[in-house]
A and B are shown apart, each in its own frame.
Chain A
Amino acid sequence: MGIVVHIVCSYLATLGFGILLNIPHRALNSCGWVGVLGWMAYLLGTHINAGTMLANVMGALIIGLSSMVMARRLKMPMILFNIPSLVPLVPGGQAYKAVRSFAVGNDLGAINYLVQVIMIAASIAMGFFISELIARAYFRLTTDK
Protein backbone atom coordinates (compact mmCIF):
# COMPACT_ATOMS: atom_id res chain seq x y z
CA MET A 1 0.00 0.00 0.00
CA GLY A 2 2.74 2.40 0.98
CA ILE A 3 4.69 1.77 -2.20
CA VAL A 4 1.64 2.59 -4.35
CA VAL A 5 1.29 5.94 -2.63
CA HIS A 6 4.98 6.60 -3.26
CA ILE A 7 4.74 5.71 -6.95
CA VAL A 8 1.62 7.81 -7.54
CA CYS A 9 2.94 10.76 -5.56
CA SER A 10 6.38 10.84 -7.16
CA TYR A 11 4.80 10.53 -10.62
CA LEU A 12 2.42 13.43 -9.94
CA ALA A 13 5.12 15.58 -8.33
CA THR A 14 7.44 15.17 -11.31
CA LEU A 15 4.60 15.82 -13.73
CA GLY A 16 3.57 18.94 -11.80
CA PHE A 17 7.08 20.36 -11.77
CA GLY A 18 7.31 19.62 -15.49
CA ILE A 19 4.22 21.76 -16.03
CA LEU A 20 5.74 24.57 -13.94
CA LEU A 21 8.83 24.52 -16.19
CA ASN A 22 6.59 24.35 -19.28
CA ILE A 23 8.15 21.26 -20.84
CA PRO A 24 6.53 20.06 -24.12
CA HIS A 25 3.38 18.05 -23.37
CA ARG A 26 4.73 15.17 -25.49
CA ALA A 27 7.48 14.65 -22.90
CA LEU A 28 5.31 14.90 -19.77
CA ASN A 29 4.42 11.23 -19.37
CA SER A 30 7.93 9.84 -19.84
CA CYS A 31 9.22 12.57 -17.55
CA GLY A 32 6.86 11.36 -14.82
CA TRP A 33 8.15 7.80 -15.14
CA VAL A 34 11.76 8.95 -14.93
CA GLY A 35 10.80 10.67 -11.67
CA VAL A 36 9.21 7.47 -10.34
CA LEU A 37 12.32 5.41 -11.20
CA GLY A 38 14.60 7.92 -9.47
CA TRP A 39 12.49 8.03 -6.33
CA MET A 40 12.24 4.21 -6.25
CA ALA A 41 16.03 3.94 -6.46
CA TYR A 42 16.34 6.42 -3.61
CA LEU A 43 13.78 4.49 -1.50
CA LEU A 44 15.61 1.23 -2.21
CA GLY A 45 18.83 2.90 -1.07
CA THR A 46 17.32 4.01 2.22
CA HIS A 47 15.57 0.64 2.63
CA ILE A 48 18.80 -1.38 2.47
CA ASN A 49 20.40 1.04 4.98
CA ALA A 50 22.88 2.41 2.45
CA GLY A 51 22.74 5.82 4.12
CA THR A 52 21.29 9.06 2.82
CA MET A 53 24.29 9.95 0.66
CA LEU A 54 24.49 6.64 -1.19
CA ALA A 55 20.71 6.59 -1.61
CA ASN A 56 20.89 10.03 -3.26
CA VAL A 57 23.74 8.90 -5.50
CA MET A 58 21.63 5.93 -6.58
CA GLY A 59 18.58 8.09 -7.22
CA ALA A 60 20.52 10.62 -9.28
CA LEU A 61 22.33 7.86 -11.18
CA ILE A 62 19.07 6.20 -12.19
CA ILE A 63 17.55 9.57 -13.14
CA GLY A 64 20.59 10.42 -15.26
CA LEU A 65 20.59 7.09 -17.07
CA SER A 66 16.85 6.84 -17.66
CA SER A 67 16.56 10.45 -18.81
CA MET A 68 19.36 9.77 -21.28
CA VAL A 69 17.40 6.81 -22.65
CA MET A 70 14.22 8.91 -22.87
CA ALA A 71 16.10 11.79 -24.53
CA ARG A 72 17.41 9.38 -27.19
CA ARG A 73 14.01 7.83 -27.72
CA LEU A 74 12.02 11.06 -28.03
CA LYS A 75 14.89 13.05 -29.61
CA MET A 76 14.58 15.87 -27.09
CA PRO A 77 17.15 17.60 -24.86
CA MET A 78 18.03 15.64 -21.73
CA ILE A 79 17.33 18.49 -19.30
CA LEU A 80 13.60 18.15 -20.02
CA PHE A 81 13.66 14.86 -18.14
CA ASN A 82 16.24 15.20 -15.43
CA ILE A 83 15.28 18.59 -13.96
CA PRO A 84 11.70 17.72 -12.93
CA SER A 85 12.68 14.21 -11.79
CA LEU A 86 15.38 15.62 -9.56
CA VAL A 87 12.90 17.65 -7.50
CA PRO A 88 11.83 14.89 -5.05
CA LEU A 89 15.51 14.33 -4.17
CA VAL A 90 16.15 18.01 -3.31
CA PRO A 91 17.09 18.16 0.41
CA GLY A 92 14.15 20.41 1.28
CA GLY A 93 13.61 18.96 4.73
CA GLN A 94 17.20 19.42 5.87
CA ALA A 95 17.42 22.93 4.38
CA TYR A 96 14.19 23.82 6.17
CA LYS A 97 15.52 22.54 9.51
CA ALA A 98 18.76 24.49 9.00
CA VAL A 99 16.84 27.71 8.39
CA ARG A 100 14.59 27.07 11.35
CA SER A 101 17.54 26.42 13.67
CA PHE A 102 19.23 29.63 12.51
CA ALA A 103 16.02 31.59 13.09
CA VAL A 104 15.61 30.38 16.67
CA GLY A 105 19.29 30.95 17.46
CA ASN A 106 20.49 27.32 17.53
CA ASP A 107 23.55 27.92 15.33
CA LEU A 108 25.28 24.60 16.03
CA GLY A 109 22.22 22.60 15.02
CA ALA A 110 21.84 24.77 11.94
CA ILE A 111 25.41 24.07 10.83
CA ASN A 112 24.79 20.37 11.36
CA TYR A 113 21.82 20.45 8.97
CA LEU A 114 23.64 22.74 6.54
CA VAL A 115 26.47 20.22 6.22
CA GLN A 116 23.86 17.54 5.45
CA VAL A 117 22.34 19.75 2.75
CA ILE A 118 25.75 20.28 1.14
CA MET A 119 26.58 16.56 1.31
CA ILE A 120 23.27 15.57 -0.28
CA ALA A 121 23.67 18.16 -3.03
CA ALA A 122 27.18 16.85 -3.69
CA SER A 123 25.96 13.24 -3.84
CA ILE A 124 23.25 14.17 -6.37
CA ALA A 125 25.94 15.85 -8.47
CA MET A 126 28.07 12.72 -8.09
CA GLY A 127 25.21 10.52 -9.30
CA PHE A 128 24.79 12.68 -12.41
CA PHE A 129 28.51 12.61 -12.97
CA ILE A 130 28.64 8.81 -12.88
CA SER A 131 25.65 8.51 -15.22
CA GLU A 132 27.31 10.91 -17.67
CA LEU A 133 30.49 8.84 -17.48
CA ILE A 134 28.64 5.58 -18.16
CA ALA A 135 26.77 7.14 -21.08
CA ARG A 136 29.97 8.53 -22.65
CA ALA A 137 31.71 5.17 -22.31
CA TYR A 138 28.70 3.38 -23.77
CA PHE A 139 28.41 5.70 -26.78
CA ARG A 140 32.13 5.53 -27.43
CA LEU A 141 32.03 1.72 -27.39
CA THR A 142 28.96 1.50 -29.63
CA THR A 143 29.98 4.12 -32.19
CA ASP A 144 33.59 2.97 -32.67
CA LYS A 145 32.63 -0.44 -33.96
Chain B
Amino acid sequence: MERDDQIIETVLLAGKIMIENGADMARVDDTLTRIARNAGIKNPKIFETTTGILMSIPDKKSAQVEPIQKRTIDLEKVSSVNQKSRAFQRGELSLQEFKDSLVRLNISSPYFSFWLQLAAAMVVSTTLMLIYGGYWQDLFATALAGGVGYACYYFINNHLRVRFVSEFLGAFLIGIIAVLCVRFRLGYQVDMITIGGVMPLVPGVPITNAVRDIFAGHFLSGMARALEALLSACAIGMGIAIVFRFM
Protein backbone atom coordinates (compact mmCIF):
# COMPACT_ATOMS: atom_id res chain seq x y z
CA MET B 1 0.00 0.00 0.00
CA GLU B 2 2.80 2.35 0.98
CA ARG B 3 4.57 1.91 -2.35
CA ASP B 4 1.36 2.32 -4.35
CA ASP B 5 0.71 5.66 -2.67
CA GLN B 6 4.25 6.73 -3.41
CA ILE B 7 3.89 5.75 -7.08
CA ILE B 8 0.65 7.69 -7.42
CA GLU B 9 2.14 10.74 -5.72
CA THR B 10 5.18 10.68 -7.99
CA VAL B 11 3.10 10.31 -11.15
CA LEU B 12 0.74 13.10 -10.11
CA LEU B 13 3.62 15.43 -9.24
CA ALA B 14 5.28 14.77 -12.60
CA GLY B 15 1.98 15.42 -14.38
CA LYS B 16 1.37 18.58 -12.38
CA ILE B 17 4.78 20.03 -13.27
CA MET B 18 4.33 19.20 -16.95
CA ILE B 19 0.82 20.63 -17.31
CA GLU B 20 1.57 23.75 -15.24
CA ASN B 21 4.51 24.57 -17.46
CA GLY B 22 2.84 24.12 -20.83
CA ALA B 23 3.20 20.54 -22.10
CA ASP B 24 0.68 19.06 -24.54
CA MET B 25 -1.64 16.33 -23.28
CA ALA B 26 -0.44 13.53 -25.55
CA ARG B 27 3.08 14.00 -24.17
CA VAL B 28 1.82 14.15 -20.55
CA ASP B 29 -0.29 11.03 -21.04
CA ASP B 30 2.63 9.15 -22.58
CA THR B 31 5.12 10.17 -19.87
CA LEU B 32 2.81 9.45 -16.93
CA THR B 33 1.77 6.04 -18.24
CA ARG B 34 5.42 5.22 -18.81
CA ILE B 35 6.41 6.21 -15.26
CA ALA B 36 3.59 4.12 -13.78
CA ARG B 37 4.47 1.09 -15.95
CA ASN B 38 8.16 1.35 -15.04
CA ALA B 39 7.22 1.54 -11.37
CA GLY B 40 5.56 -1.83 -11.76
CA ILE B 41 1.87 -1.10 -12.32
CA LYS B 42 0.48 -3.13 -15.21
CA ASN B 43 -2.69 -1.23 -15.94
CA PRO B 44 -2.60 2.34 -14.60
CA LYS B 45 -5.70 4.47 -15.17
CA ILE B 46 -4.75 8.10 -15.66
CA PHE B 47 -7.10 10.88 -16.73
CA GLU B 48 -5.68 14.32 -17.25
CA THR B 49 -7.12 17.67 -18.28
CA THR B 50 -5.64 21.15 -18.25
CA THR B 51 -7.12 21.80 -14.82
CA GLY B 52 -6.51 18.52 -12.98
CA ILE B 53 -5.21 14.94 -13.01
CA LEU B 54 -6.80 11.75 -11.67
CA MET B 55 -4.96 8.50 -11.24
CA SER B 56 -5.99 5.13 -9.88
CA ILE B 57 -4.57 1.62 -9.71
CA PRO B 58 -7.53 -0.62 -10.58
CA ASP B 59 -6.87 -3.82 -8.61
CA LYS B 60 -5.47 -2.03 -5.54
CA LYS B 61 -8.43 0.36 -5.20
CA SER B 62 -6.25 3.39 -4.45
CA ALA B 63 -6.75 6.70 -6.24
CA GLN B 64 -5.82 10.36 -5.88
CA VAL B 65 -6.72 13.69 -7.47
CA GLU B 66 -4.39 16.59 -8.19
CA PRO B 67 -5.99 19.95 -9.08
CA ILE B 68 -3.94 22.36 -11.20
CA GLN B 69 -4.64 26.01 -10.54
CA LYS B 70 -1.76 28.11 -11.75
CA ARG B 71 -0.45 27.98 -15.30
CA THR B 72 2.90 29.38 -16.36
CA ILE B 73 5.23 28.63 -19.24
CA ASP B 74 8.62 27.09 -18.65
CA LEU B 75 9.45 24.48 -21.24
CA GLU B 76 12.75 23.62 -19.57
CA LYS B 77 10.83 21.97 -16.72
CA VAL B 78 8.76 19.95 -19.20
CA SER B 79 11.89 18.74 -20.90
CA SER B 80 13.62 17.92 -17.63
CA VAL B 81 10.65 15.86 -16.30
CA ASN B 82 10.89 13.97 -19.57
CA GLN B 83 14.60 13.31 -19.10
CA LYS B 84 14.15 12.25 -15.48
CA SER B 85 11.47 9.80 -16.54
CA ARG B 86 13.87 8.30 -19.10
CA ALA B 87 16.53 7.99 -16.40
CA PHE B 88 13.97 6.26 -14.17
CA GLN B 89 13.13 3.90 -17.02
CA ARG B 90 16.80 2.97 -17.43
CA GLY B 91 16.98 2.33 -13.68
CA GLU B 92 19.44 5.14 -12.94
CA LEU B 93 17.04 6.67 -10.40
CA SER B 94 15.05 4.87 -7.71
CA LEU B 95 11.42 5.85 -7.15
CA GLN B 96 12.32 7.84 -4.04
CA GLU B 97 15.16 9.70 -5.80
CA PHE B 98 12.89 10.39 -8.76
CA LYS B 99 10.25 11.88 -6.50
CA ASP B 100 12.78 13.99 -4.57
CA SER B 101 14.23 15.37 -7.79
CA LEU B 102 10.72 16.26 -8.98
CA VAL B 103 10.02 18.12 -5.72
CA ARG B 104 13.26 20.06 -6.18
CA LEU B 105 12.44 20.79 -9.82
CA ASN B 106 9.00 22.07 -8.86
CA ILE B 107 10.36 24.85 -6.63
CA SER B 108 13.39 25.77 -8.77
CA SER B 109 13.45 29.14 -10.51
CA PRO B 110 13.73 29.84 -14.26
CA TYR B 111 17.10 29.53 -15.93
CA PHE B 112 17.05 32.72 -18.02
CA SER B 113 17.15 36.01 -16.10
CA PHE B 114 14.66 38.83 -16.56
CA TRP B 115 17.16 41.02 -18.42
CA LEU B 116 17.95 38.30 -20.92
CA GLN B 117 14.23 37.77 -21.47
CA LEU B 118 13.77 41.50 -21.98
CA ALA B 119 16.56 41.52 -24.57
CA ALA B 120 14.97 38.48 -26.23
CA ALA B 121 11.60 40.27 -26.39
CA MET B 122 13.29 43.25 -28.10
CA VAL B 123 14.99 40.94 -30.58
CA VAL B 124 11.70 39.17 -31.37
CA SER B 125 9.94 42.50 -31.93
CA THR B 126 12.55 44.06 -34.18
CA THR B 127 13.36 41.00 -36.30
CA LEU B 128 9.70 40.18 -36.92
CA MET B 129 9.00 43.82 -37.77
CA LEU B 130 11.78 43.60 -40.39
CA ILE B 131 10.64 40.35 -42.01
CA TYR B 132 7.04 41.57 -42.16
CA GLY B 133 8.29 44.41 -44.36
CA GLY B 134 8.98 47.27 -41.94
CA TYR B 135 11.61 49.97 -42.35
CA TRP B 136 15.08 49.90 -40.76
CA GLN B 137 14.37 53.39 -39.40
CA ASP B 138 11.70 51.95 -37.09
CA LEU B 139 14.15 49.62 -35.30
CA PHE B 140 14.59 51.80 -32.23
CA ALA B 141 10.89 52.52 -31.76
CA THR B 142 9.99 48.82 -32.15
CA ALA B 143 12.64 47.73 -29.66
CA LEU B 144 11.36 50.32 -27.17
CA ALA B 145 7.71 49.33 -27.63
CA GLY B 146 8.44 45.59 -27.46
CA GLY B 147 10.68 45.95 -24.42
CA VAL B 148 8.32 48.15 -22.40
CA GLY B 149 5.31 46.01 -23.33
CA TYR B 150 7.04 42.79 -22.34
CA ALA B 151 8.35 44.27 -19.07
CA CYS B 152 4.81 45.33 -18.13
CA TYR B 153 3.46 41.87 -19.06
CA TYR B 154 6.22 40.15 -17.07
CA PHE B 155 5.76 42.17 -13.90
CA ILE B 156 1.97 41.88 -13.79
CA ASN B 157 2.19 38.15 -14.46
CA ASN B 158 4.85 37.51 -11.83
CA HIS B 159 3.95 39.92 -9.05
CA LEU B 160 0.24 40.67 -9.25
CA ARG B 161 -0.76 37.36 -10.88
CA VAL B 162 -3.74 38.71 -12.81
CA ARG B 163 -4.29 36.82 -16.04
CA PHE B 164 -5.29 38.65 -19.24
CA VAL B 165 -4.86 42.08 -17.59
CA SER B 166 -1.13 41.67 -18.20
CA GLU B 167 -1.63 41.22 -21.95
CA PHE B 168 -4.14 44.05 -22.04
CA LEU B 169 -1.91 46.60 -20.30
CA GLY B 170 1.16 45.46 -22.22
CA ALA B 171 -0.58 45.92 -25.57
CA PHE B 172 -1.99 49.27 -24.43
CA LEU B 173 1.50 50.56 -23.57
CA ILE B 174 2.86 49.27 -26.88
CA GLY B 175 0.15 51.14 -28.78
CA ILE B 176 0.79 54.38 -26.89
CA ILE B 177 4.56 54.15 -27.41
CA ALA B 178 4.09 53.47 -31.14
CA VAL B 179 1.81 56.48 -31.56
CA LEU B 180 4.07 58.77 -29.52
CA CYS B 181 7.21 57.65 -31.36
CA VAL B 182 5.64 58.48 -34.70
CA ARG B 183 4.39 61.79 -33.39
CA PHE B 184 7.87 62.78 -32.18
CA ARG B 185 9.51 61.59 -35.44
CA LEU B 186 11.31 58.64 -33.84
CA GLY B 187 9.52 56.19 -36.12
CA TYR B 188 7.52 56.15 -39.34
CA GLN B 189 4.90 53.41 -39.41
CA VAL B 190 2.60 53.04 -36.40
CA ASP B 191 1.26 49.77 -37.83
CA MET B 192 4.60 48.00 -38.14
CA ILE B 193 5.87 49.23 -34.76
CA THR B 194 2.74 47.95 -33.04
CA ILE B 195 2.71 44.57 -34.82
CA GLY B 196 6.37 44.02 -33.96
CA GLY B 197 5.93 45.15 -30.38
CA VAL B 198 2.97 42.87 -29.77
CA MET B 199 4.68 39.71 -31.09
CA PRO B 200 6.41 38.71 -27.79
CA LEU B 201 2.97 38.63 -26.11
CA VAL B 202 1.51 36.19 -28.66
CA PRO B 203 0.12 33.11 -26.83
CA GLY B 204 2.22 30.63 -28.81
CA VAL B 205 2.03 27.76 -26.32
CA PRO B 206 -1.80 27.67 -25.95
CA ILE B 207 -2.29 27.98 -29.73
CA THR B 208 0.05 25.11 -30.60
CA ASN B 209 -1.13 22.92 -27.75
CA ALA B 210 -4.79 23.50 -28.56
CA VAL B 211 -4.23 22.19 -32.09
CA ARG B 212 -2.12 19.25 -30.95
CA ASP B 213 -4.51 18.27 -28.13
CA ILE B 214 -7.54 18.34 -30.38
CA PHE B 215 -5.83 16.21 -33.04
CA ALA B 216 -4.69 13.76 -30.37
CA GLY B 217 -8.29 13.33 -29.15
CA HIS B 218 -7.98 15.32 -25.88
CA PHE B 219 -10.95 17.54 -26.72
CA LEU B 220 -11.53 18.86 -23.22
CA SER B 221 -7.96 20.12 -22.82
CA GLY B 222 -7.84 21.32 -26.41
CA MET B 223 -10.92 23.49 -26.00
CA ALA B 224 -9.63 24.86 -22.69
CA ARG B 225 -6.34 25.83 -24.35
CA ALA B 226 -8.11 27.32 -27.36
CA LEU B 227 -10.23 29.46 -25.04
CA GLU B 228 -7.09 30.57 -23.21
CA ALA B 229 -5.44 31.57 -26.50
CA LEU B 230 -8.59 33.35 -27.68
CA LEU B 231 -8.91 35.34 -24.44
CA SER B 232 -5.23 36.37 -24.57
CA ALA B 233 -5.62 37.45 -28.18
CA CYS B 234 -8.76 39.42 -27.32
CA ALA B 235 -6.99 41.12 -24.41
CA ILE B 236 -4.14 42.19 -26.73
CA GLY B 237 -6.68 43.39 -29.32
CA MET B 238 -8.60 45.41 -26.73
CA GLY B 239 -5.40 47.10 -25.54
CA ILE B 240 -4.54 48.18 -29.09
CA ALA B 241 -8.13 49.14 -29.95
CA ILE B 242 -8.39 51.53 -26.98
CA VAL B 243 -5.27 53.36 -28.14
CA PHE B 244 -6.69 53.87 -31.63
CA ARG B 245 -10.08 54.93 -30.30
CA PHE B 246 -8.69 57.85 -28.31
CA MET B 247 -5.52 58.95 -30.10
- The answer to whether A87 and B80 have CB atoms under 8 Å apart is no
User: Interface residues of B, CB < 8 Å — how many?
Assistant: 52
- Bound CA span A83–B99, Å: 29
Query: With an 8 A cutoff between CB atoms, is A141 at the interface?
Result: no
Query: With an 8 A cutoff between CB atoms, is A54 at the interface?
Result: no
Residues of chain A in range 21-64 having any CB-CB distance to chain B below 8 Å: 21-25, 27, 39
Q: A22-B73, A75-B86, A76-B82 are in contact. Are A16 and B120 (CB under 8 A)?
A: yes
Q: A9-B128, A77-B78 are in contact. Are A21 and B204 (CB under 8 A)?
A: yes
Kindly list chain A residues whose C-beta atoms are within 8 Å of the C-beta of B111.
22, 24-25
- The answer to whether A128 and B112 have CB atoms under 8 Å apart is no
- The answer to whether B215 and A129 have CB atoms under 8 Å apart is yes
By beta carbon, the residue of chain A nearest B240 is A99
Query: With an 8 A cutoff between CB atoms, is B52 at the interface?
Result: no
Query: With an 8 A cutoff between CB atoms, is B74 at the interface?
Result: yes
Query: With an 8 A cutoff between CB atoms, is B55 at the interface?
Result: no
By beta carbon, the residue of chain A nearest B110 is A22
Query: With an 8 A cutoff between CB atoms, is B102 at the interface?
Result: no
- Bound CA span A136–B61, Å: 36
Of the candidate stretches B8-16, B37-45, B205-213, the one touching chain A is B205-213
Kindly list chain A residues whose C-beta atoms are within 8 Å of the C-beta of B198.
92, 96
- Bound CA span A58–B207, Å: 18
- The answer to whether A22 and B208 have CB atoms under 8 Å apart is no
A11 to chain B, nearest CB (A): 8
Of the candidate stretches B21-29, B62-70, B90-98, B158-166, the one touching chain A is B21-29
By beta carbon, the residue of chain A nearest B28 is A77
Query: With an 8 A cutoff between CB atoms, is A69 at the interface?
Result: no
By beta carbon, the residue of chain B nearest A25 is B111
Query: With an 8 A cutoff between CB atoms, is B123 at the interface?
Result: yes
A5 to chain B, nearest CB (A): 7
A83 to chain B, nearest CB (A): 5
Select the residue from B121, B204, B245 with max chain A CB neighbours within 10 A: B204
Residues of chain B in range 176-209 having any CB-CB distance to chain A below 8 Å: 191, 194-195, 198-200, 202, 204-205, 207-209
Kindly list chain A residues whose C-beta atoms are within 8 Å of the C-beta of B191.
93, 96-97, 100
Q: A79-B208, A79-B212, A90-B202 are in contact. Are A17 and B120 (CB under 8 A)?
A: yes
Q: A22-B112, A79-B24, A99-B240 are in contact. Are A10 and B205 (CB under 8 A)?
A: no
By beta carbon, the residue of chain A nearest B116 is A19
Residues of chain B in range 190-247 having any CB-CB distance to chain A below 8 Å: 191, 194-195, 198-200, 202, 204-205, 207-209, 211-212, 215, 233, 237, 240-242, 244-245
A86-123 interface code vs B (CB 8 A; 1 in, 0 out) = 11101011011111101110000000000000000100
Residue among A86, A88, A95, A98 making CB contact with B128, cutoff 8 Å: A88
B194 to chain A, nearest CB (A): 6
- The answer to whether A93 and B195 have CB atoms under 8 Å apart is yes
B187 to chain A, nearest CB (A): 16
Query: With an 8 A cutoff between CB atoms, is A82 at the interface?
Result: yes
A1-17 interface code vs B (CB 8 A; 1 in, 0 out) = 00001101110110111
By beta carbon, the residue of chain B nearest A5 is B130
Q: A5-B131, A20-B124 are in contact. Are A92 and B199 (CB under 8 A)?
A: yes
The residues of B with any CB-CB pair to A shorter than 8 Å are: 22-24, 27, 73-76, 78-80, 82-83, 86, 110-112, 116-117, 120-124, 127-128, 130-132, 150, 191, 194-195, 198-200, 202, 204-205, 207-209, 211-212, 215, 233, 237, 240-242, 244-245
| Interchain residue pairs A-B with the least CB separation, the first 5 | A19-B120, A16-B124, A9-B127, A16-B123, A103-B241
